């Protein structure tokens, strides 16, 4: 059960839904049957990366067999989920090469045979990188992002590029210029954003793990909506070289996995100093994988003495009560594990959202000025330079991108700089200090990852302010540059998952991964396999 102090009725609410999810689309028979299944398995999350590594090295299963398994699932589910903008044609050839190296006892790397999806705002030399925008349609970079390069050096197979809100500006993945991604838990709901494609791909088990980017919660909110693990590292932990810039002082490449161990192993492979990124940290990278002990090796209270602070402002007005209920259940579970849990107030918490949107929009107005049809981006035919600039941007950029460019340009204008941009930077300093003070007294802080579970596609598309308000739980972490881990902890009544957010001190990913892994391995009674593929994973 979730907790010995939890009401059985509440347990039922959290670990199953009262009625099947109905989708008003036509599915192949296998998908339709899976969509009606109740995912109530009590199996614990296991590291798919470790399973693959063990299997291919023992010759129990080949890398090609694993690749075919994931590709078959991708082909079955992709017409309905629409996670990918591009799927690689060389996956099986790369898997065969890994099998050949293993047969010849050659080194293949810690991610050999692991299929990794990459958000389409992260550059890949052998695949398009559009950032979800028409202005970069068919653009193929001449280089790999540092994170992608490290993945390939570790033996990973890049399965494809995932959908996103254009240039990472959005919270639903409806802002893509190409397609709308659906949530594998309910195809009528959004997967979150802007890394919704990466989250949905892991949730639907179309890949093993995936990379996303997080500027204001774009890894963590989709992780909560899709019932997967999302890890936002400390700013500077992972090189941003090759990440299409949105807001450079906030952008971070993050990790998705179906387990905490997988997210941690992925981070281990991509982090570290990079001379091509002046903001990447030179801090030594420790071995995160040493934190992932099996449940049988844990003590009765493995988190005894851990000081946990629950952010008071995140459980009040504006937060869905079923989300609050799930977070309260997670808190009770952490107390059972030995944590000392207290409430902590961050009075500046509500100020983070407006400060974030001023700063992020200001930086985006500068970063996106390069997409003018001359330096970067597709261009229209025009006899005059000014109309070429204006026409190329008007045709190539979507409405949300234009909105944020206009807001940022306004905030940076001479008459309003002090009133908006300077004031927002001052608020950012206040937010950083409030987090530091709270983390001086606590080992980690806890909050929901989003004020609600996933909502219907189209519900907030025409209400940008309501969409912006959904980022209230996550943007402060980016302003402070801190690491945060989101992992599923329960369900709301309609069967959609809820994620708890754990926030740590700067470069304290090791502690977050340890706590998250123990929490995950001891949380019984819930399975976070979406109904879309539940039949395949029944125990």
38 found inside a domain:
no
Cα–Cα distance list, 361 to 367, 398, 538 (Å): 10, 15, 45
Q: Annotated catalytic residue: which of 83, 176, 194, 210? A: 194
Identify the CA nearest to 217 among candidates 197, 196, 203, 243: 196
189 found inside a domain:
yes
Q: Annotated catalytic residue: which of 3, 82, 83, 119? A: 119
Helix (H) or strand (E) holding 488: strand 484-491
For residue 155, the cross-strand partners are none
Tokens for 79, please give them: 């017409």
Q: How confident is the model at residue 14 (pLDDT cuts 50, 70, 90)?
A: very low
How confident is the model over 69-94, as pLDDT tens digits? 999 999 999 999 999 999 999 999 99
For residue 243, the cross-strand partners are 122
Instruction: Please confirm, yes or no, whether 218 is among the known catalytic residues.
Output: yes
Q: How confident is the model at residue 538 (pLDDT cuts 50, 70, 90)?
A: low
Q: Are strands 157-162 and 229-232 parallel, antiparallel or unpaired?
A: unpaired
Look at residue 502 and give its three-state secondary structure: strand
pLDDT at 238 over 70: yes
Domain containing 110 — which CATH number? 3.90.1300.10
pLDDT reported for residue 324 = 97
Q: How confident is the model at residue 329 (pLDDT cuts 50, 70, 90)?
A: very high
356 found inside a domain:
no
380 found inside a domain:
no
| Parent domain of 154 | 48-295+304-351+425-537
Give the span between the Cα atoms of 33 and 532, in whole angstroms. 8
Look at residue 20 and give its three-state secondary structure: coil
Average pLDDT rounded to a whole number, residues 488-513: 97
278 found inside a domain:
yes
203 found inside a domain:
yes
The DSSP symbol for 484 reads E
pLDDT reported for residue 43 = 52
37 found inside a domain:
no
Average pLDDT rounded to a whole number, residues 147-174: 98
pLDDT at 13 over 70: no
Average pLDDT rounded to a whole number, residues 265-270: 98
Give the span between the Cα atoms of 534 and 182, in whole angstroms. 17
pLDDT reported for residue 537 = 73
pLDDT at 12 over 50: no
CB 374 within 8 Å of CB 388: yes
28 found inside a domain:
no
pLDDT reported for residue 536 = 81
Give the span between the Cα atoms of 245 and 133, in whole angstroms. 13
- The count of domains in the chain is 1
Identify the CA nearest to 300 among candidates 518, 501, 60, 486: 518
CB 489 within 8 Å of CB 520: no
pLDDT reported for residue 1 = 32
Instruction: Please confirm, yes or no, whether 101 is among the known catalytic residues.
Output: no
Q: Annotated catalytic residue: which of 83, 133, 210, 218? A: 218
Tokens for 383, please give them: 């006899």
Q: Are strands 307-311 and 340-344 parallel, antiparallel or unpaired?
A: parallel
Phi, psi angles (nearest 5°) of residue 96: -60, -40
Give the span between the Cα atoms of 172 and 382, in whole angstroms. 35
pLDDT at 183 over 90: yes
CB 267 within 8 Å of CB 53: no
**Strand arrangement of the beta sheet that strand 252-257 belongs to:** 84-87, 157-162, 115-119, 209-214, 252-257, 229-232, 484-491, 497-503, 444-448, 307-311, 340-344
How confident is the model over 274-311, as pLDDT tens digits? 999 999 999 999 998 888 888 878 888 999 999 999 99
């Amino acid at each position: 059960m979730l907790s010995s102090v939890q009401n059985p009725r509440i347990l039922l609410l959290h670990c199953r839904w009262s009625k099947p999810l109905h989708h008003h689309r036509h599915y192949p028979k296998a998908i339709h049957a899976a969509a009606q299944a109740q995912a109530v398995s009590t199996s614990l999350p296991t590291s798919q990366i470790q399973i693959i590594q063990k299997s291919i090295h023992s010759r129990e299963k080949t890398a090609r067999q694993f690749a075919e398994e994931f590709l078959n699932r991708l082909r079955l589910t992709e017409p309905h989920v629409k996670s990918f903008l591009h799927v690689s044609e060389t996956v099986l050839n790369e898997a065969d090469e890994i099998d050949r190296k293993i047969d010849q006892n050659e080194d293949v790397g810690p991610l050999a045979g692991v299929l990794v999806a990459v958000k389409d705002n992260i550059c890949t030399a052998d695949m398009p990188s559009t950032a979800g925008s028409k202005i970069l349609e068919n653009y193929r970079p001449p280089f790999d992002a540092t994170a992608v390069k490290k993945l390939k050096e570790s033996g990973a197979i890049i399965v494809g590029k995932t959908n996103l809100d254009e240039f990472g500006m959005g919270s639903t993945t409806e802002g893509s210029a190409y397609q709308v991604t659906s949530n594998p838990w309910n195809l009528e709901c959004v997967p979150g954003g802007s890394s919704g494609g990466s989250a949905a791909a892991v949730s639907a088990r179309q890949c093993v793990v995936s990379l996303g980017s997080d500027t204001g919660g774009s890894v963590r909110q989709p992780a909560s909506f899709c019932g997967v693990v999302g890890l936002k590292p400390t700013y500077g932990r992972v090189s941003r070289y090759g990440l299409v810039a949105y807001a450079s002082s906030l952008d971070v490449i993050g990790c998705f996995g179906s387990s905490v161990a997988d997210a941690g192993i992925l981070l281990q492979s991509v982090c570290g100093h990079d001379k091509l990124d002046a903001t990447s940290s030179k801090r030594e990278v420790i071995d995160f994988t040493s934190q992932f002990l099996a449940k049988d090796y844990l003590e009765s209270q493995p988190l005894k003495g851990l000081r946990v602070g629950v952010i008071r402002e995140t459980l009040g007005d504006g937060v869905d009560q079923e989300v609050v209920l799930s977070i309260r259940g997670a808190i009770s579970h952490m107390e059972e594990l030995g944590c000392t849990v207290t409430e902590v107030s961050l009075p500046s918490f509500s100020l983070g959202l407006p400060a974030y949107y001023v700063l992020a929009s200001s930086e985006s107005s500068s970063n996106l000025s390069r997409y003018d049809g001359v330096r970067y981006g597709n261009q229209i035919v025009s006899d005059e330079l000014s109309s070429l600039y204006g026409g190329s941007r008007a045709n190539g950029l979507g409405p949300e991108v234009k909105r944020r460019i206009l807001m940022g340009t306004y905030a940076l204008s001479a008459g309003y700089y002090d009133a908006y941009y300077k004031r927002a930077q001052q608020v950012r300093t206040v937010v950083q200090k409030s987090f530091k003070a709270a983390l001086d007294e606590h080992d980690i802080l806890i909050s929901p990852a989003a004020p609600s579970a996933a909502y219907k596609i189209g519900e907030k598309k025409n209400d940008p302010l309501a969409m912006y308000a959904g980022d209230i739980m996550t943007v402060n972490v980016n302003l402070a540059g801190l690491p945060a881990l989101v992992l599923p902890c329960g369900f709301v009544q309609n069967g959609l998952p809820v994620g708890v957010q754990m926030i740590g001190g700067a470069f304290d990913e090791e502690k977050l991964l340890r706590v998250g892994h123990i929490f995950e391995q001891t949380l019984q009674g819930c399975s976070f396999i979406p109904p879309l593929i539940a039949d395949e994973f029944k125990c």
